């Protein structure tokens, strides 16, 4: 199914492909080998099958599970990306692969992690490569290796992907008008380049496992915030031009040659310098003022070297404040979501009952309809609205015939809605919509888009 999805989407995706058959097939073979190794361990040592429906009755900490918590998913994602690289598939690289990885993450966080704790208890053996626990124990070698595997490696891959993707057509520059006239200070490259060794050293500086965990979690959260901005927002910061007059100017030009203006907002130099300052000050109390003073100078060097705009620097500082306040932000959002979810309001007009929380489902459906309409384009809006209406009718009929929701729930069923969308797309030629081969991809693209957005609708509209 993933191969069919990628091959079909390749006709519409106008993104660069990465072609390297040798590297791609090697990555895919490594991923498949890791999966087979993990399957063998589950069957042999766990006494079960590698399936959520039939999980092994015994916890497995042998084979690849000694090193990774979820080797099957790691191997499968590697196989998907490897095939995309080997076959030079742009949709496989930029859509199918990331969607597969995010689906695996959602499955682990939303089901498997809680299910493992429920079946085997909270104190499970930790694999060698895992986030360290939040304790005051001295940091271990595996904790330092986790920093390389979970932070440095993914950051290099994602930053390289942002550089490879390049700026979007018609991208917006983040410079303010007066910034373009500012001179480039070549010696500021000393501070700008110091970010690399200091930030890398910060991964190895924590003294306790709790400090190491805090740094890694903050780094991962920062990456989760910044990289979607790089990939999704058409913002660029072209470096300010200058003529090098010294050695540091040549170094600055060399760095620019290996960077991309599409990966500037927010500034990762600012993010990394502030995270590193926090790590150094946590290890050495007297280093707090010098560490954050250095981070402030790095932020100024971003402007002085002409590599970043004020907006880039401000956004980087905002990302740092967000990740260090992530727990408080989560508590506020979690509390607000619980208050909304637990608030019950209904109105009755004769036999008709209006549920207050149905407004969230209505908003979710409206958002999904807008997204699908944008994906299909104006010529296909009739098909979009017809399938949406059929999905609503199918959801109502399916709930009545098969799903039988409780009285407190909306009288609609998810699977009936999916069948309604599929049936409307399949029957569209019977109602005057074009049935030529050129239109078939549009019908099934509408069906697939509706299915994809229905998951978002489901998550937002459930009471």
For residue 81, what pLDDT is reported? 96
Categorize the per-residue pLDDT at 407 as very low, low, confident or very high, splitting at 50, 70 and 90: low
Closest CA to 210 of 291, 155, 109, 279: 279
Q: How many CB atoms lie within 10 A of CB 158?
A: 16
- Alpha helix (H) residue ranges in 42-109: 71-86, 90-91, 97-107
Burial class of 297 by CB neighbour count within 10 A (0 to 12, 13 to 18, 19+): middle
For residue 398, what pLDDT is reported? 76
- The maximal CA–CA distance of the chain, rounded, in angstroms, is 83
DSSP string, 115-150: HHHHHH-S-PPPPSSSPPPSSSSBP-HHHHHHHIII
Closest CA to 64 of 80, 85, 78: 78
CB 424, CB 390: distance < 8 Å? yes
| pLDDT of 100 above 80 | yes
Note the pLDDT tens digit of each residue in 13-51. Answer: 888 988 899 999 999 999 999 999 999 999 999 888 888
Note the pLDDT tens digit of each residue in 139-148. Answer: 988 888 888 8
For residue 273, what pLDDT is reported? 97
3-state secondary structure 427-447: HHHHHCCCCCHHHHHHHHHHH
* 348: β partners: 353
% of the chain exceeding 70 in pLDDT: 89
Q: How many CB atoms lie within 10 A of CB 404?
A: 10
The most confident of the ranges 82-86, 130-134, 149-153, 358-362 is 82-86
Closest CA to 225 of 103, 109, 320, 104: 320
Residue 227: which residues within 8 A CB-CB, separation 6 or more? 158, 162
Mean pLDDT (the chain) is 86
Per domain, the residue ranges of the chain are: 2-120, 141-330, 346-461
* 147 token code pair: 């920093």
Alpha-carbon gap, residue 12 to 458, rounded angstroms: 27
* 80 token code pair: 């998907």
């Amino acid at each position: 199914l993933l191969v069919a999805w990628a091959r079909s989407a390749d006709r519409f995706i106008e993104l660069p492909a990465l072609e390297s058959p040798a590297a791609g097939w090697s990555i895919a073979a490594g991923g498949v080998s890791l999966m087979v190794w993990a399957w063998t361990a589950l069957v042999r040592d766990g006494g079960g099958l590698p399936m959520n429906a039939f999980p092994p009755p015994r916890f497995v900490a042998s084979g690849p599970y000694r090193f990774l918590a979820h080797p099957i998913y790691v191997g499968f994602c590697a196989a998907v990306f490897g095939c995309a690289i080997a076959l030079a598939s742009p949709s496989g690289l930029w859509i199918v692969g990331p969607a597969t990885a995010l689906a695996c993450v959602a499955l682990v966080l939303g089901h498997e992690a809680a299910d493992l704790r429920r079946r085997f208890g909270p104190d499970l053996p930790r694999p060698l490569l895992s986030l360290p626990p939040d304790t005051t124990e001295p940091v271990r070698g595996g904790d330092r290796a986790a920093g390389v595997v979970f932070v440095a490696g993914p950051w290099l891959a994602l930053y390289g992907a942002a550089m490879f993707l390049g700026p979007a057509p018609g991208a917006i520059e983040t410079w303010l008008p007066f910034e373009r006239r500012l001179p480039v200070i070549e010696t500021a490259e000393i501070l700008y380049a110091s970010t690399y060794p200091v930030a890398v050293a910060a991964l190895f500086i924590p003294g306790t496992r709790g400090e190491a965990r805090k740094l890694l979690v903050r780094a991962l959260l920062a990456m989760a915030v910044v990289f979607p901005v790089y990939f999704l927002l058409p913002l660029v910061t072209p470096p300010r031009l200058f003529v090098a007059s010294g050695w540091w100017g040549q170094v600055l030009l060399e760095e620019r040659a290996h960077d991309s203006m599409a990966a500037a907002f927010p500034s990762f130099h600012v993010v990394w310098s502030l995270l590193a300052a926090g790590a150094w000050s946590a290890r050495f109390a007297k280093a707090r003022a010098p560490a954050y003073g250095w981070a402030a100078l790095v932020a100024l060097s971003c402007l002085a070297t002409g590599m970043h705009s004020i907006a880039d620097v401000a956004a980087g500082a905002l990302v740092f404040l967000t990740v260090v306040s992530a727990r408080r932000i989560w508590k506020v959002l979690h509390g607000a979501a619980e208050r909304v979810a637990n608030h019950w309001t209904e109105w009755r007009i004769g036999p008709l009952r209006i549920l207050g929380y149905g407004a969230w489902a209505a908003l979710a459906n409206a958002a999904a309809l807008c997204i699908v309409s944008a994906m299909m384009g104006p010529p296909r809006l009739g098909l979009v609205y017809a399938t949406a209406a059929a999905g609503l009718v199918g959801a109502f009929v399916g709930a009545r015939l098969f799903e039988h929701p409780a009285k407190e729930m909306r009288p609609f069923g998810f699977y009936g809605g999916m069948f309604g969308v599929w049936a409307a797309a399949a029957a569209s030629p019977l109602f005057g919509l074009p049935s030529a081969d050129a239109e078939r991809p549009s019908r099934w693209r509408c069906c697939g888009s509706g299915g994809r957005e229905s998951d978002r609708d489901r998550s937002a509209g459930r009471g």
